[in-house]
Structure 1
């Protein structure tokens, strides 16, 4: 999954606002091996300035339409607002990626039920009390999101789960999460992981955002070994090679047709 930020305050410093530039980046990501793209118009870094739904969609609309015209791969919209998601679906987005796991806007789960769109639901630990067992907290949060979706009429097979690496956890907890990714398989849903350029890598390697590719690569190889299904990355060309090589070791090569 290639990341397309259309924000002026992205933590990774790669935000773009011009629709043509975003579409060009999307094309290059697909050419480099991206199987799907994730586009977001509001930063999710801890100290970001919140924006309302209208401002978010105005920032998102033109780049999303341009990307939809440019590529055929599935596009997820990274938002936690039902109003933005609904308009994004109309503009060509294929699925939702919600960093609050359907828990911040009560209209999101019903929207998914009405539209039939799939969703990535993430566990977000920010503002929550740590119960002492990281994986137990993550699993409980993801189960709560899945229950919200199911209660609204969203079939289980439309959900992908994300443990929320970097969202409310410190470096020690994030590294534990990487060691215990196998424990998420029991949820019975595909797992997405987003470690790309995140601060834990910076803490371990003492590198700024733009110099965290090698650290990201190490986390992705571990993720593939643990059975993660989708990895969300900024540097598609390099990370595609990492994932394909790790996948060949773990699952065998050549891949079955």
Structure 2
């Protein structure tokens, strides 16, 4: 049974929990521009917390395929006011979606409890910063960078290579002094993977549990849903919910989603069904 701790906050991961996506960006693939102002982002946080999100993942730089990098100053100007508002208004876990050590430091100082890094702390100084902050960190697998990751991703065995990469990153973080209980893993759906790779990852998700660490899954509204179903981003709810339920059944502890209320409903139905098996 897993749990994560940050300061005086503890979150049990005995049952899957929902992490809400809050992109304070003009160019994210699904909701870019919808929450681009601080006011819009704060209103969305009010909404998803009321719908049952236990974690809000606040990001100020898009990592969609082809996304352009933003400066530290720009990223901070987007996320810090939203983190401060959330910390003041809600008793919820706050995640900062960033790869920059400077943003990690200021975000945690503003009230963030968790670092979610698509680059698995590979930026210069990131491991040292995350270790010094002593908060949980999610390490994600990505082949390439957002600018080029979908050009021609190739694997001999996608789950084996993703697991090997994450295992090496875990070892690196442990060697730097990070406590093992602070580490969460994300196989990185859509980050340098073809449609086939993504569904192989979902089917083989239990193999990632060989590392004995909590697993975070983010496939909400992604191209693995849209390309399979031939649906635009605003028509991918059913596919996203199916993916979330499969991931939960495969043992994922954290589901990173756009549609919080609907995902919470799915998990409640699944939980009630599983509970009935043991009566």
Same fold (TM over 0.5): yes
Match of 1:148 in 2: 172
- Does residue 71 in structure 1 map to residue 94 in structure 2? no
Q: CA deviation at 1:121?
A: 0.6
Match of 1:236 in 2: 260
Q: Aligned equivalents of 1:135 and 1:202: distance in 2?
A: 22
Match of 2:161 in 1: 137
Match of 1:116 in 2: 134
Structure 2 residue corresponding to 1:8, chosen from 2, 26, 30: 26
What TM-score do you get using the length of structure 2 for normalisation? 0.87
- Does residue 107 in structure 1 map to residue 125 in structure 2? yes
Contact 1:17 1:63 in 2 (8 A): no
Corresponding pairs, count: 254
Q: Aligned equivalents of 1:14 and 1:30: distance in 2?
A: 20
Q: Aligned equivalents of 1:12 and 1:168: distance in 2?
A: 18
Contact 1:225 1:247 in 2 (8 A): no
Residue ranges of structure 1 left out of the alignment (5+ in a row): none
Query: Which structure is higher in RCO with an 8 Å CA cutoff and minimum separation 6?
Result: 2
Alignment of 1:198-237 (within 5 A): 198-237=222-261
Alignment of 1:44-193 (within 5 A): 44-103=63-122, 105-126=123-144, 130-193=154-217
Structure 2 residue corresponding to 1:31, chosen from 38, 44, 50: 50
Q: Aligned equivalents of 2:121 and 2:106: distance in 1?
A: 17
Higher mean C-alpha deviation, range 67-76 or range 82-91: 67-76
Q: Aligned equivalents of 1:131 and 1:75: distance in 2?
A: 34
CA deviations over 1:137-156 (Å, ceiling 9, x no partner): 11011112212211210011
Contact 1:130 1:137 in 2 (8 A): no
Higher mean C-alpha deviation, range 157-166 or range 120-129: 120-129
Contact 1:20 1:66 in 2 (8 A): no
Higher strand share: 2
- CA gap 1:225/1:55 in 2 versus in 1, 3 angstroms: same
